[in-house]
Chains A and B, each alone.
Chain A
Amino acid sequence: GESVGLHLPTLSVQEGDNSIINCAYSNSASDYFIWYKQESGKGPQFIIDIRSNMDKRQGQRVTVLLNKTVKHLSLQIAATQPGDSAVYFCAETFQGAQKLVFGQGTRLTINP
C-alpha cells in the first residue's frame, strides 16, 4: 500500500547545530505535505506545510524541501534549541483525500 516513511528513527544533534529530518513517500498523487512536532505527552503540533507546486518553503528556523522527482521530503531546523527535542512526523495527502498518511516518526534529541 501507499506509505510515507522516514529514513532515520533517531537523530541526535548538538545544540546550535542544524538538523535535517528526512521522509520518503510513495504515492505520486500526493500533493500536500505536512510536518508535525510531537513533544512528550502532547498531541502533534503543526510546524509547516508545502504543496506540490513548490519545492521549498521557509518558516521561523524551519525549512521544508520537496523533491517530487525522487518523492522525498525534508525538514531542516536551524540553530537547534533544547525545545526542539521531540518526535517529528511527516504526513502526506492529496486533494479530495479523506485522511493523512503519516510517516513512522523521527526522534530528535538535542545535546547540550
Chain B
Amino acid sequence: DAMVIQNPRYQVTQFGKPVTLSCSQTLNHNVMYWYQQKSSQAPKLLFHYYDKDFNNEADTPDNFQSRRPNTSFCFLDIRSPGLGDAAMYLCATSRDFGNQPQHFGDGTRLSIL
C-alpha cells in the first residue's frame, strides 16, 4: 500500500498560471520534503517541514512555496511557472532528521505549455 501519495501523477499548466501539487502520507512522519528532479538527475531538495517548522533551501526560487496544514498533508505551490519549472516533483517523508531513510512518493510530472 502506498504510504506517500502524490496527486496528480501528471499535471499540465500554462506558463505563468499558478499550480498546486499535493502530497499525503500515512506514516505519521515528522518530516516532509519536496524535491525537484529533472531528466535522470538526482533529486534536488527545495524545502522541508519538520512538523510545522519550515526550512527553505538557499537556492530554491521564490516562485516556489509550500504549506503543511497538518501532519498528513503537504502542498507545493508554484506561483508563476516558467518553462524551466517543467520537471518531476517528488515528495518524501522521514520519521526524523539524521540517520533515517526518506520514503518517496511516485512524484508528479509537471508540464508547462
Interface residues of A (CB under 8 A from B): 31-32, 34, 36, 41-46, 49, 51, 87, 89, 93-100, 102-105, 107
Q: Which of B48, B99, B105 contacts A99 (CB 8 A)?
A: B48
- Contact call B42/A104, Cβ cutoff below 8 A: yes
**A50 CB, nearest partner CB in chain B, Å:** 10
Main secondary structure of the interface of A (DSSP, over half): loop
Instruction: Tell me if B61 counts as interface (CB < 8 A to partner A).
Output: no
Chain B residue nearest to A47 in the complex (CB): B101
Per-residue A-contact encoding for B43-65, CB less than 8 Å = 1, 0 else = 10100101000010000000000
**A23 CB, nearest partner CB in chain B, Å:** 12
- Contact call A87/B40, Cβ cutoff below 8 A: yes
Residues of B within 8 A of A104 (CB): 41-42
Instruction: Tell me if B15 counts as interface (CB < 8 A to partner A).
Output: no
Residues of B within 8 A of A103 (CB): 42
- Contact call A102/B42, Cβ cutoff below 8 A: yes
CA distance in complex: A72, B22 (Å): 36
**A44 CB, nearest partner CB in chain B, Å:** 5
Known: A32-B99, A41-B109. 12 other contacts (CB 8 A): A31-B99, A32-B98, A36-B104, A43-B90, A43-B92, A89-B42, A97-B97, A97-B98, A99-B45, A102-B42, A103-B42, A104-B42
Residue pairs across A and B with Cβ atoms less than 8 A apart, 16 shown, are A32-B98, A41-B109, A43-B6, A44-B90, A44-B104, A46-B103, A49-B101, A87-B40, A95-B98, A95-B99, A96-B97, A96-B98, A99-B33, A100-B102, A103-B42, A105-B41
**B84 CB, nearest partner CB in chain A, Å:** 20
Chain B residue nearest to A99 in the complex (CB): B45
Q: Which of A34, A44, A51, A107 contacts B43 (CB 8 A)?
A: A44
Residues of A within 8 A of B41 (CB): 104-105
Query: Provided the pairs A41-B106, A98-B48, A99-B45 are in contact, do residues A105 and B40 lie with their beta carbons within 8 angstroms?
Result: yes
